[in-house]
Each structure stands twice: as structure tokens, then as C-alpha cells.
Amino acid sequence: MFETHHSLPWNAVTLQPGPLKKRAELNRAYMLSLKSTNLLQNHYGEAGLWNPPQQPTDCHRGWESPTCQLRGHFLGHWLSAAARLVASTGDTEIKGKADFIVAELARCQQEMEGEWIGSIPEKYLDWIARGKRVWAPHYTLHKTLMGLYDMYEIGQNEQALDILIHWADWFHRWTGQFSREQMDDILDVETGGMLEVWANLYGVTNRQEHLDLIRRYDRSRLFDRLLAGEDVLTYMHANTTIPEVHGAARAWEVTGEQRWRDIVEAYWRLAVTDRGYFCTGGQTSDEVWCPPHQLGGQLGPENQEHCTVYNLMRLANYLFRWTGDVVYADYYERNFYNGILAQQNAQTGMVAYYLPLETGGTKVWGTPTNDFWCCHGTLVQAQASHTRDIYFTNDEGLVVSQYIPSRLQWHHDGSEVIVTLESKAHNVYALKAPREQPRQTSHPEYTLSVNCEQPTEYTLTLRLPWWLADEPMITINGERQRVPHTPSSYYHIRRTWHNDKLTILLPKALQIVPLPGASDMMAFMDGPIVLAGLCDDAPMLYGSKNHPETLLAPCHERQYAAWQPDSYETRNQPHTTRFLPLCDIRDERYTVYFPIAEQP
């Protein structure tokens, strides 16, 4: 039986020192490196407050170029990411920059007669109403709307809400002139998360005009077919629809109307449960949904757009909070390591728009100021949100959903509770039978320290992940607990907590994962992490599909006094290939899927 989970305040959780915190710091440094004038350049341009510099290098280019119809989209992402950093870390430097940008947007709004604050002209929306071709104006405008809402709701900037409300007046008046059929035609051109913005705003104001906007931006031509059970996604542009379903999710939360929730659940079944996914968790090729369970012909240079990864993880968050079902946390984890981390360069902080899964693929990294793809935007948001999905609360107590080194400050029944989660690798060699070669399993070891201001009773719930290879080893103050080997489940501990220490060892082992629709092609995973071979071909491997240790063996296991458990090499093969975590690969050519010839 599942139950509702609740997110904790943004400032309740901080990252512990380690690789993930370094990635977040890279992201912060990138955000600060961008000049406020350049972030605002397209809003200034619409308001008549900016003259383009003489040197092209002095302004943002790519999708932020003043000649691009998507210009200005990135600023909204930047504001959303800044709001998260301010709320979670109290970062005064980011806050000062973000508050200045909001104030400048207010100045632009006044220059444009008090309502419109877009980085593109209003006529772009009139063009789509007339059926004239234009590149996704609603998508672009949504980003600024989203950034303003997040600066208010998360970043505590009241001015952002005032700007948003006045801009909503323009949209209410503009949409009021269209019939339902005309509005449906308009919504057929990518709308991004417009519905979610109006639902968010209605949740704040409870005003009729904002409820009207929810109704008007109801994407019924998509939603009604979803509810009817039709496959409306195959070969459809993926990231057009995910933000629209975010809107349905938020509409359910603020209106309580069951239809909205039914839409979300139907979408998840169609997009994920009944479609299957690559070993990484992605489901797309060249930005469109792959056919259900037929991914064999879909490997290429343009798999797994970063935006789809981030947005499906956001959708998983909605469903996890509503249900507490562990499958959503498992899905989140798979995509976190093999999408969010795999598509950020751990050295430069830049994003890979796609994650190639073709043989001998390479990641193509964006540049700081000359690209500004849509995925630049979801990059800065994703890398500013790492603390959001680690811990949740429910009616019984605290839930540990993701095993990410972090510190939680939580108040429960009048007592302050400090929870610290730390991790290290712990390798174990096991003999499965007499005279058998030792098989290495890596047990990620976590230390969970629980310190309560005064003794406090509640249930601590630990997620037992889908990749669990053997019985977990959990101790409380040195006392071993009896924990069943039940992957993709929860382990509940009800007790009075005070100053306690848990040690959590979660056995994982190599596993082989077939490609849906091409069972002769296999990928290797080490727990939740996809391994990639450093090669530009896909040589036949010989061994047992049921015993991946006959194919790969650890290499470079120790460095000084530390285990290095994530590096492997082929064993007993004609040629030696080294395998590394896909999330650690930067510029090397790599292959994820290999043919395997069975040998007993």
C-alpha cells in the first residue's frame, strides 16, 4: 500500500562534499559567468532598451541570437535555476543577480505599457493564430513565465509575482477572442509548459481569470486521445508533450479534478511503462518517441535529448509524491546517473544535447555563449536541483529515496532532526561454489547519522533499489537488522530515534540488459550505472548472458587506499576493451550495446 509523500523545504537539504557537489558548483560558476546584460539582451531589445554591440562576441549567440525566433528562452531557465540555488544554499551573489534581473524585467514591462514582457513580439502569437509558420512562441514565452513564478515561489521575490500577474492579464485578454476550435489550433503549435504556469498562478491567486487560462490551455486534442488509450506518442516530438502533461499534473493539484490526474497516469503508462526504454532510461531518437519495445533500429547519434530526461524526471516526481510508489524513484535514479550526469561534462560543466547510443558514438558538448540550445536551459535547472528528491516525508515519518551524500535539517514533533548521509565503495569477493573463481560484487556503503534534539519516535523508510543483487546489510548502532532481499521495495524502521548511526550496504553486481526489440544486443550495467566500452565498433563478445563476470572483470581496482570499483575490462575475448561509467565519459568514442555469443 502506497501513501502520499511530501517534499521538504528547499533549504532543508544540502549536498555533502564530493563529485556531485563539484558538478553543482561548476553549474553555479557557469551561471555567474553570464553577464546580466546579455541574459536580458532580448527582453531589452523588445522594450527598446538595448542596442546590439558592434562585436558579435559581446552578445549571446545561437538560440539566443537576436535573429532567432526562440530568443530569450534561456533567461527563464536561468531564473528558475537561480531561485533554486538561493532557496537551497542562501547564495547571496546569485540572489543579487537574480533580483536585479527581475527588476530589469519590471522596467521592460513598464516600457511596453505595463503587461507584455516577452523576449519576442506579440505578433508571433498572432501569426500562429493565423496559421503562419513561426518557431514555438508559446514555448519561448513559457520560459520567462516559469522563471518569474519560480523566483516568486522558490526565490521569495514578490516583484516577480506582480510582473507575472500583469502579463497574465494580456494572455487572458488575447485568448478570450478565440473559439474552442481556434484555441485548439493554436495549441497544436508547441506550447511548452503554459498550462503548468497558469495552474501555478491559480494556486497562488485563486482568481477566476487564472482558472480561465487553465481551461483555455487544456490540450484536449492530445489529452482526450490519451484517456481513450490511443498511442498518440510514437514518432511524435517528445518534449512538446511532456511539459503539457506537467500542466495536467499541476492542474490536478490546484483544482482536484480527477480528469487531470487520469491524463497524467495515462501518459506515464504510454510514454514509459508500456513503451520501454534504453538501458539509460531514455526513450527517444532524433527528439521523437521510439515505437513501444522496438528500439533496435533506433540507436543513433541523437538519442535521449537532455530536455526529455529532465522533464520525465519531473513528471516522475509528481507521481512519486502522489503515490509513494518506489518504481518512480527507481526510474528517477536510472535517469539521474545515465542522463543528467552523463549529459553534463564533469570538467567544463557544459551540456550534451543528445546522448548518442550508436556504435562508436561521441558526446557533442555545447559552448558557454554560442549555442544556448533548449538543453542549456534544462542543464542549469537540473544541476541546481540535486537536493530535491533525496528525502521526503509521509504520515509515518521520513523517507530516504535517493542515496546521494547530503545533510538534512528536519523538524518533527517539535524536535530538530539532523540526518547526514555519506557514502563509500566497499568491495567484496564471494565464492559461489568450490574451486569457482571469485566473483566481485561492489556493495555501496552508506552511513546514515540521525541526531535528534530530543528522543523522537517516527518511521525511517529506506528505498531498496531495483538493482539490489543480494540481501542488504543494515545495522543500527552496530546491531544487524533482518532485511529481506526484495528489490524495488521499502524497508521500514519504526523506533525512537536520538543519536543513532546506520550502516547500509546495498549489494550490486554486473548485469546484462537486452535492447528492447533486439534481444541479440546487450548493455552492461553496474547497479544503476550504464557501462560503455571505449571503442568505435561493437565486437562480438563471447560468454554467458546470465553470468556477466564471464565477459567483464574489474580493472584498476585500487588507487592508494581507495577502491575504484567502476572500471572494467573484457576477459577471455579476442580483443581487450575497457569499460567505464557512461556518466564519466567526456570526449572518448564509446559503445553501449554489444552482440553476445552464448558460451556455457
Whole-number pLDDT of residue 346:
95
Kindly report the number of other CB atoms within 10 A of residue 447's CB atom: 14
How far, in Å, CA of 550 to CA of 545, rounded?
Answer: 9
**8 Å CB contact between 408 and 8:** yes
Mean pLDDT of 327-332: 98
pLDDT surpassing 60 at residue 351? yes
Cα 78–Cα 421–Cα 282 angle in degrees, nearest 5: 50
Domain at 404-505: CATH code = 2.60.120
Q: Is the dihedral of CA 555, 586, 25, 531 positive or negative?
A: negative
pTM of the model: 0.94
Whole-number pLDDT of residue 231:
96
Mean pLDDT of 172-198: 97
Mean pLDDT of 204-208: 98
Mean pLDDT of 62-73: 96
Average pLDDT, the chain: 93
What's the first-to-final CA gap in the chain, in angstroms?
42
Q: Helices marked H in 121-257 — which ranges?
A: 123-129, 137-153, 158-175, 180-187, 194-205, 208-216, 220-227, 238-255
**8 Å CB contact between 5 and 326:** no
* CA proximity to 585, closest of 361, 332, 423: 361
Local confidence band at 54 (pLDDT 50, 70, 90 cut-offs)? low
| Overall residue count recorded for the chain in this entry | 600
Local confidence band at 599 (pLDDT 50, 70, 90 cut-offs)? confident
pLDDT surpassing 90 at residue 519? no
Whole-number pLDDT of residue 430:
38
Whole-number pLDDT of residue 428:
43
Q: Considering the chain, what percentage of its residues have pLDDT values greater than 90?
A: 90
Domain(s) of CATH 2.60.120: residues in the chain: 404-505
What would the pLDDT profile of 359-373 be if each residue is shown by its tens digit?
A: 999 999 999 999 999
Domain(s) of CATH 1.50.10: residues in the chain: 9-392
Q: Read off the amino acid at residue 143.
A: K
Q: Read off the amino acid at residue 318.
A: Y
How far, in Å, CA of 593 to CA of 513, rounded?
Answer: 9
Phi/psi for 63 (5° steps) reads: -70, -10
Kindly report the number of other CB atoms within 10 A of residue 3's CB atom: 12
Contacting residues for 66 by C-beta, under 8 A, at least 6 apart: 41, 42, 45, 52, 59
C-alpha cell at 100: 536585479
How far, in Å, CA of 341 to CA of 457, rounded?
Answer: 36
Whole-number pLDDT of residue 55:
65
Residue for cell digits 543483487?
Answer: 469
The answer to which of 155-169, 210-224, 569-583 has the lowest mean pLDDT is 569-583
pLDDT surpassing 50 at residue 216? yes
Kindly report the number of other CB atoms within 10 A of residue 82's CB atom: 30
Local confidence band at 444 (pLDDT 50, 70, 90 cut-offs)? confident
- 9-392: which CATH architecture? Alpha/alpha barrel (1.50)
**8 Å CB contact between 504 and 462:** yes
Mean pLDDT of 477-491: 95
What would the pLDDT profile of 252-297 be if each residue is shown by its tens digit?
A: 999 999 999 999 999 999 999 999 999 999 999 999 999 999 998 9
Contacting residues for 540 by C-beta, under 8 A, at least 6 apart: 594, 595, 596, 597
| CA gyration radius, the chain | 25
Local confidence band at 425 (pLDDT 50, 70, 90 cut-offs)? low
**8 Å CB contact between 368 and 386:** no
Whole-number pLDDT of residue 424:
79
